[in-house]
Amino acid sequence: MDIVGTPWLQILLLAIVFLGLLVEIKTGGLGAGAMLSIVAAGVFFGSHYMKGLVSMYQIAMFLGGVMCIIIEMLTPTVGLIAGLGAAAMLYSVVLTLGGDLEAIYALLASLALAVLIFALLVKRLPSSRLWKKVVLSHASTSDRGYVSAPSKQNLVGRTGVAETDLRPSGRGNFDGVSQDIVTDGAYIVKGSSIIVASVEGSRVIVKKI
């Protein structure tokens, strides 16, 4: 009986391959993930090669994809090489499994299993440079000094002059500084004295004095 050829074991082997690659990307060079992936890939492709179901073309494509990911981890690129490598690996696996719809289902099942296990491990593993490219480590919050736009609350109560007709939006001048403004719907003629009634986000709302 060909145990390696059974669909569930093929899915398990592929899941180990992908899990090992994910671990290697996360840890960045510890080698444990790469070794796990190489052993599982060797068993997977070797069993198919011995039965004549796979050629050196598929194996070379898979190894080329792995090499692209390794290059990505060692060079300061933006992730394109790793993306091409992942695509080559997935394509080679689909071809090895038969290149049909069932092959795609098996690939998706193995990916889902690998991601599930990896999600349980991710917090326990150190992060590599490549992983930091893929995942945003810190949120851009106000606590970290990030703001979407400068606050204009200090304009509330200040008086100025309408530089343009406000229909209802336009521009006003406050102590020599020009500012985009809007009324609450009223029409104000250019040159009128105005006062900032409120600020809502980036909208400076004025009214006529």
Give residue 177's domain range. Answer: 154-208
Q: What's the structural domain count of the chain? A: 2
Give the separation between CA 63 and CA 22, rounded to whole angstroms.
16
Query: Is residue 139 assigned to a domain?
Result: no
**Contact residues for 118 (Cβ-Cβ < 8 A; gap 6+):** 19, 22, 23, 26
Query: Is residue 147 assigned to a domain?
Result: no
Helices (H) and strands (E) in the chain, counts: 6, 5
Per-residue pLDDT of the chain (209 residues; tens, 9 = 90+): 444 457 788 888 888 888 887 777 777 655 667 787 788 888 888 888 887 777 888 888 888 887 887 777 666 565 677 788 888 888 888 888 887 888 888 889 988 998 898 888 777 765 555 555 555 444 445 555 555 556 678 889 999 999 999 988 899 999 888 999 999 888 999 999 999 999 887 889 999 98
The verdict on 128 and 43 lying in the same domain is yes
Give the separation between CA 185 and CA 170, rounded to whole angstroms.
12
Look at residue 205 and give its three-state secondary structure.
Answer: strand
